C-alpha cells in the first residue's frame, strides 16, 4: 500500500462508513449483527429464590413495551478507505402482537427521524420500518443529502469509466464542489436464529437524484466507495453468520455493492462499466452491559476486518478495517 500524504488522509476522513448498509459494516449498525437496531426494552426481572429440592422455574422473558420512544446512536471510523461518521435516529415504535411465540413476539412498526453527519456531508430524513414476524424486516427511508464541498467531496464525472482510486480522488480534490439531492432506500432483511447461531441477509435498493454539474452524470459516493449514477440505482447486500455468547458476538460478514448504469450515463451496446465491489471478513462486538429501558442501554464496541474479493482499486494486502461504538436511550417510561 502506498504511503498516503497527510492531505489525503485528512480529506478521506469524510468517507461515510460502510456497515449496513455499507453497505459497509455500518449501515447498517444500526446494521451491526451484535447490536440489533431495535433491541427489546425493559430490565430483566431477577430470578426467584426456590428451595433446593425444587426445580428452578424458567427464566422469564424480558418484557417488550407496547409503545417505545428511543434514540439510537452509532459512531464509526474506518480504514481503506478512511472514513468517519455519526448516525443517529429518534424512533417511535409500536408493538404489533402481544405474543410469547418465537415468531410473533418481537414484532413492531415504527417511524423515525434520521441524521447522519460526516466531515463532508449531511443526511437527514424520515424512516418507516415494520417487522411483522421475527424472520422478516422491511425499512423504507428518504434522505435529503448535502455535500458541502469540503475535503475533496463531491467529485463528479461525464461517465462511469473513470479512475476513482485514492490517488485519483486526491488529484481531483480542487474540482470538488457543494451540491445536494435526494436519496431513497428500500431495505428488506431476512433473519433467523437457532441456539447461539444467527444468520441474516440484508438487501438495499437505493435510488439517487443528485444535482451534478452540466454534462456530468456520475459521482463518487464516499459511503459506498464507488461511482454512482447521478440519477439512477445501486444495489447492496450484507450477509452475516453470527455466534452469540452473552455479551460477545462474533461472526463473518459478506458485503457487496453493485451500481447500475444505463444510456443516460453513456453505457449502452458494447460499452460496459463494472464498478461493483465485494469483501468478506470476521467481526466481533462486546456489550458492556445489557440494560434496557434506561438512558444508556447496551453500550457496545464493534470491530471488523475484511478483505476485498473484487474492487477496481483496492485488491491489495491492506484490508478494510473499522471500529465503532453504539448505544441506545429510552426516552419514556415503558408500558
- 54-77 mean pLDDT: 80
The contacts of residue 257 (CB under 8 Å, 6+ apart) are 22, 23, 224, 225, 226, 234, 235, 236, 276, 277, 278
pLDDT value, residue 45: 41
Residue that wins the pLDDT comparison between 41 and 155: 155
| Short-list 116, 69, 112, CA closest to 88 | 116
pTM of the model: 0.83
Percentage of residues in the chain having pLDDT higher than 70: 81
From residue 178, give the alpha-carbon distance in Å to each of 116, 146, 181, 183: 17, 8, 11, 16
Specify the range with the lowest mean pLDDT, choosing from 59-68, 155-164, 193-202, 203-212.
59-68
pLDDT band at 318 (very low <50, low <70, confident <90, very high): confident
Residue that wins the pLDDT comparison between 15 and 325: 325
- 196-206 mean pLDDT: 98
pLDDT value, residue 293: 85
**How is residue 107 written as a grid cell?**
414484532
pLDDT value, residue 18: 38
pLDDT value, residue 247: 94
Q: What is the pLDDT of residues 122-145, one digit of tens each?
A: 999 999 999 999 999 999 999 999
Percentage of residues in the chain having pLDDT higher than 90: 70
How are strands ordered across the β-sheet holding 226-229? Answer: 156-157, 218-221, 226-229
Q: What is the pLDDT of residues 156-184, one digit of tens each?
A: 999 999 999 999 999 999 999 999 999 99
> Do strands 297-310 and 277-287 pair parallel, antiparallel, or not at all (unpaired)?
antiparallel
* Residue 48 and residue 259 in contact, taking contact as beta carbons nearer than 8 Å: no
The contacts of residue 53 (CB under 8 Å, 6+ apart) are none
- The total of other beta-carbon atoms located within 10 Å of residue 321's CB is 15
Q: What is the pLDDT of residues 251-294, one digit of tens each?
A: 999 999 999 999 999 998 888 899 999 999 999 999 999 888 88
- 11-36 mean pLDDT: 39
- The total of other beta-carbon atoms located within 10 Å of residue 247's CB is 14
pLDDT value, residue 59: 53
Burial class (CB in 10 A: 0-12, 13-18, 19+), 80: buried
**How is residue 206 written as a grid cell?**
437505493
Between the CA atoms of 23, 264, 270 and 233, what dihedral angle is there, to the nearest 10 degrees? 20
pLDDT band at 61 (very low <50, low <70, confident <90, very high): low
* Residue 25 and residue 34 in contact, taking contact as beta carbons nearer than 8 Å: no
d(CA 152, CA 171): 9
pLDDT band at 94 (very low <50, low <70, confident <90, very high): very high
Helix, strand, or coil (residue 274): coil
- The total of other beta-carbon atoms located within 10 Å of residue 306's CB is 23
d(CA 258, CA 233): 9
Amino acid at each position: 500500500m502506498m504511503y498516503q500524504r497527510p492531505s489525503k488522509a485528512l480529506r478521506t476522513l469524510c468517507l461515510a462508513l460502510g456497515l449496513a448498509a455499507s453497505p459497509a459494516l455500518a449501515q447498517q449498525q444500526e446494521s451491526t449483527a451484535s447490536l440489533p437496531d431495535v433491541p427489546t426494552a425493559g430490565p430483566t426481572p431477577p430470578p426467584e429464590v426456590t428451595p433446593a429440592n425444587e426445580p428452578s422455574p424458567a427464566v422469564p422473558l424480558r418484557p417488550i413495551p407496547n409503545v417505545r420512544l428511543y434514540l439510537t446512536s452509532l459512531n464509526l471510523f474506518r480504514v481503506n478507505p478512511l472514513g468517519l461518521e455519526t448516525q443517529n435516529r429518534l424512533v417511535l415504535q409500536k408493538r404489533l402482537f402481544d405474543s410469547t411465540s418465537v415468531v410473533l413476539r418481537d414484532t413492531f412498526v415504527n417511524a423515525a427521524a434520521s441524521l447522519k453527519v460526516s466531515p463532508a456531508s449531511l443526511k437527514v430524513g424520515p424512516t418507516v420500518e415494520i417487522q411483522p414476524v421475527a424472520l422478516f424486516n422491511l425499512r423504507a427511508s428518504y434522505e435529503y443529502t448535502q455535500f458541502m464541498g469540503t475535503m475533496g467531496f463531491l467529485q463528479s464525472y461525464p461517465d462511469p469509466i473513470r479512475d476513482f482510486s485514492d490517488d485519483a480522488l486526491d488529484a481531483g480534490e480542487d474540482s470538488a464542489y457543494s451540491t445536494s439531492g435526494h436519496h431513497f432506500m428500500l431495505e428488506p432483511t431476512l433473519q433467523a436464529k437457532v441456539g447461539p447461531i444467527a444468520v441474516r441477509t440484508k438487501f438495499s435498493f437505493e435510488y439517487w437524484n443528485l444535482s451534478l454539474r452540466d454534462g456530468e452524470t456520475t459521482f463518487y459516493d464516499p459511503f459506498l466507495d464507488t461511482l454512482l449514477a447521478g440519477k439512477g440505482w445501486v444495489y447492496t447486500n450484507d450477509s452475516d453468520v453470527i455466534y452469540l455468547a452473552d455479551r460477545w458476538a462474533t461472526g463473518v460478514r459478506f458485503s457487496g455493492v453493485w451500481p447500475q448504469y444505463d444510456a443516460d450515463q453513456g453505457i449502452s451496446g458494447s460499452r460496459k462499466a463494472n464498478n461493483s465491489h465485494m469483501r468478506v471478513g470476521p467481526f466481533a462486538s462486546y456489550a458492556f452491559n445489557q440494560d434496557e429501558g434506561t438512558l444508556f442501554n447496551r453500550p457496545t464496541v464493534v470491530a471488523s476486518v475484511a478483505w476485498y474479493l473484487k474492487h477496481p482499486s483496492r485488491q491489495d494486502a491492506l484490508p478494510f478495517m473499522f471500529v465503532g461504538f453504539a448505544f441506545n436511550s429510552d426516552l419514556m417510561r415503558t408500558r
